[in-house]
Amino acid sequence: MKIQLEHRLSSCPDKLRCTVCRQIFTVGRIRPLLVNDGARIQGDLCPECVSLPADEIRLILADQAWLMLEQPRLFQHQVESPETLALELFEASLEELKMPSLYQWLMKTIKSGLFVNPDEDQVTVEAIAASSQSPWHHNY
C-alpha cells in the first residue's frame, strides 16, 4: 500500500471524506490517495492523516474495517457493500505502507504551482527536463 500524490483535477469536489479518519476536509492542489498493492484506490487522505506514522494509519484502517463489519448500516451509502469494503480495508491495513518522500512532495508541489490546470496541460516538468536546452537558457 502507498500514498500516491496526484494533482487535484478540476472535476474533483472541493470537499472529500478522509478514508482513515472519516472527517470531511478541503482538498488542496495536491490530492493524497491511499492505493493498495493491487493498484486500487482505497480513498483520499486529509492533511492530518497524511502526517501520521505509517503504522498508525494501518491501525486506524483496521479499526475502520471492524467498524464496517459491526455497523454496516453506517456505510450503506457506499457503491460496494460494507462487507466488501471492510475486507478490502482490512487487507490493505496488513500491507506495508510506503509514504511519499520529501522529493515526491516537492516535485508534485512544483508541478501543481507551475500549471494552473495540470489535467489539461500537455507540458510537464519531465518534458522540460528531457529537452536538450535548458528552459532558462538565453542567447544574448
Per-residue confidence of the chain (140 residues) as pLDDT tens digits?
999 999 888 888 999 999 899 899 999 889 999 999 989 898 999 999 999 999 999 999 999 899 888 887 776 666 677 788 888 889 999 999 999 998 898 888 888 776 555 444 444 445 444 444 444 443 33
For the chain, how many structural domains are there in total?
1
Residue 129 lies in a domain: no
| Separation CA 34–CA 15 (nearest Å) | 17
Residue 112 lies in a domain: no
Residue 56 lies in a domain: yes
pTM: 0.70
Which domain covers residue 55, as residue numbers? 2-100
54-70 vs 82-94: helix crossing angle, rounded to 10? 160
61 within 8 A of 92, measured Cβ to Cβ: yes
Please give the C-alpha separations between residue 112 and each of 39, 64, 126, in angstroms, as whole numbers.
23, 31, 13
Residues 6+ apart with CB under 8 A from 95: 1, 36, 37, 58
Residue 111 lies in a domain: no
Residue 77 lies in a domain: yes
Residues 6+ apart with CB under 8 A from 35: 1, 2, 3, 4, 41, 42
Residue 35 lies in a domain: yes
